[in-house]
A = this chain, B = another copy of it.
């Protein structure tokens, strides 16, 4: 698994798959140049921990490819996932030294990193970066608050449906699928990771997925490959307002 390190690492920012979504999205050519000079890439294998909570953080950065998770753990081992990091998502917090959460690569991950200090300095001089980071942070705050409703008030079945609809929606926006027809995607998470996200046990996750399958809300091939024949039906099961805020 180690020989073929063929994760396509972009040579320069112009080719970067997250050029227009990441923290650099608003940058002009000269600003991009400044960022380019302090950036470096790092790869992580599936399962590897990127940062441990409490560790000193010497870099911040963006997920370029792959999926990582943000989790919090109590002393007795109870675990709650507090964020799912997808390509273009930002890791780290300017102005803080220690990581607040564990960051774990769920799949193989490539990150575009900046040493923290130079990045902070550059951010001070480059409003386009700070503006974009504010915008991204506000989006994350909204996502976190939406998740609070899921965790606090939804049933197990609704929680699963909510998670599936979020993954399905994101996947569609990435692949620019035609809005009609069934949605097909692969679960990027194990049952255990889903449980940690949803505040459930993995057994309950498994049971509810089986139930949604039995009821025809989803179909699955193998353990991970999912087909959603009717997305509105899924949203309904999630207890969401049926319009379901379409983001650009």
Q: Which A residues fall within an 8 A CB radius of B? A: 70, 72, 74-76, 78-80, 82-83, 93, 95, 100-101, 127, 130-131, 133-135, 137-138, 140-142, 144-149, 151-153, 198-199, 239, 241
The one of B133, B137, B149, B199 that contacts A153, using a Cβ cutoff of 8 Å:
B199
Minimal Cβ-Cβ distance residue in B for A137: B137
Number of copies: 2
- Asked if A151 meets B239 with Cβ closer than 8 Å, knowing A72-B145, A137-B137, A144-B144, the reply is no
Minimal Cβ-Cβ distance residue in B for A197: B152
Minimal Cβ-Cβ distance residue in B for A82: B145
CA gap between A82 and B147 in the complex, in Å: 9
Q: A74-B239, A130-B131, A153-B199 are in contact. List 4 more A-B contacts (CB 8 A).
A: A70-B145, A76-B239, A83-B145, A144-B145
Q: Identify which of A74, A144, A148, A198 gathers the most chain B CB atoms within 10 Å of its CB.
A: A148
CA gap between A27 and B78 in the complex, in Å: 42
Minimal Cβ-Cβ distance residue in B for A149: B80
- Asked if A199 meets B151 with Cβ closer than 8 Å, knowing A127-B127, A145-B144, the reply is yes
- 23 A–B contacts from the bound complex (CB under 8 Å): A72-B145, A72-B146, A72-B149, A76-B239, A79-B153, A80-B148, A80-B152, A80-B153, A93-B138, A95-B135, A100-B145, A130-B130, A130-B131, A130-B134, A137-B137, A141-B141, A141-B144, A144-B144, A147-B148, A148-B148, A151-B151, A151-B152, A152-B199
Q: Identify which of A140, A146, A153 gathers the most chain B CB atoms within 10 Å of its CB.
A: A153
Check A144–B134 contact: CB distance below 8 A. no
CA gap between A75 and B241 in the complex, in Å: 7
- Chain B's nearest CB lies how many Å from the CB of A228? 21
The one of B72, B130, B135 that contacts A127, using a Cβ cutoff of 8 Å:
B130
Chain B residues with CB under 8 A of A241: 75
Chain B residues with CB under 8 A of A147: 148
Check B137–A82 contact: CB distance below 8 A. no
CA gap between A45 and B145 in the complex, in Å: 26
Chain B residues with CB under 8 A of A239: 74-76
Check B93–A149 contact: CB distance below 8 A. no
